[in-house]
Each structure stands twice: as structure tokens, then as C-alpha cells.
């Protein structure tokens, strides 16, 4: 049985995570790619965090996403980048998926 979300229309997803949780991000990327092909995961911005380019590109990717997935791991709760991305998603009224990696 095929899974369908958003009536088969492409869905953008942005993943917020602390760099220490990159292996979890890669796992979620593979899982989504293999099970929900209509979901397009927005790549993280490679610019220096909190530079003008980082703010603009990150905001744009969150804006183009229908859902923002937040990975809460060891360092996420003190990560300023994760906090800003989450605040941005909330301000844009994006749907959130929060995953606790510590349980």
C-alpha cells in the first residue's frame, strides 16, 4: 500500500538539528526518501551561522517548507541555531514535528 500525503503533491520539509545529531538527520533523510518520495527535504544552509546569508537562506528554506522537523538531542536545547530555526518556523506558522532523540 502506497502512502500519500498532501494528495500526492510535493511537500517540503526542513530539518533543524544540532551538528552533533547529524547521523540522526542522515537517517531521517534516508527514511523519508525511501518511504515518502513526495517529500522534498530542504538542505541545511552551509553559510556561517548568523551571517546575513545564513539568515536569508535559512528563512527562505523554512518558508518553502510545509513542515519543520526538530531533532532534540544532546546539544539541541542549548543550540542557538536550532532555537532560531524553531522561532522562525513558529513565526511562519509552520507545522512542526518534534523528535526526542534521547528516549
Q: What angle do CA 42, 95, 73 make, to 5 degrees?
A: 70
- Please name which of 99, 64, 101, 57 lies closest in space to residue 81, comparing C-alpha atoms: 57
* pLDDT tens by residue, 2-41: 455 666 688 999 999 998 999 999 999 999 999 999 999 9
Q: What is the pLDDT of residue 74?
A: 84
Res. 1 pLDDT band, cuts 50 70 90: very low
Q: What is the pLDDT of residue 3?
A: 55
Q: What is the pLDDT of residue 26?
A: 95
Domains of the chain in start order, with CATH, are 10-100 (3.40.50.10140)
For residue 65, pLDDT over 70 is answered with yes
* pLDDT tens by residue, 87-100: 999 999 999 999 99
Amino acid at each position: 500500500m502506497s502512502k500519500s500525503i498532501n494528495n500526492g503533491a510535493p511537500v517540503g520539509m526542513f530539518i533543524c538539528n544540532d551538528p552533533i545529531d547529524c547521523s540522526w538527520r542522515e537517517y531521517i533523510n534516508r527514511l523519508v526518501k525511501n518511504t515518502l518520495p513526495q517529500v522534498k527535504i530542504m538542505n541545511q544552509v552551509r553559510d556561517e551561522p548568523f551571517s546575513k546569508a545564513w539568515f536569508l537562506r535559512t528563512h527562505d528554506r523554512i518558508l518553502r517548507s510545509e513542515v519543520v522537523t526538530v531533532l532534540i538531542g544532546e546539544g539541541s536545547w542549548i543550540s542557538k541555531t536550532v532555537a532560531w530555526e524553531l522561532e522562525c518556523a513558529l513565526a511562519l506558522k509552520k507545522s512542526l514535528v518534534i523528535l526526542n532523540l534521547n528516549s
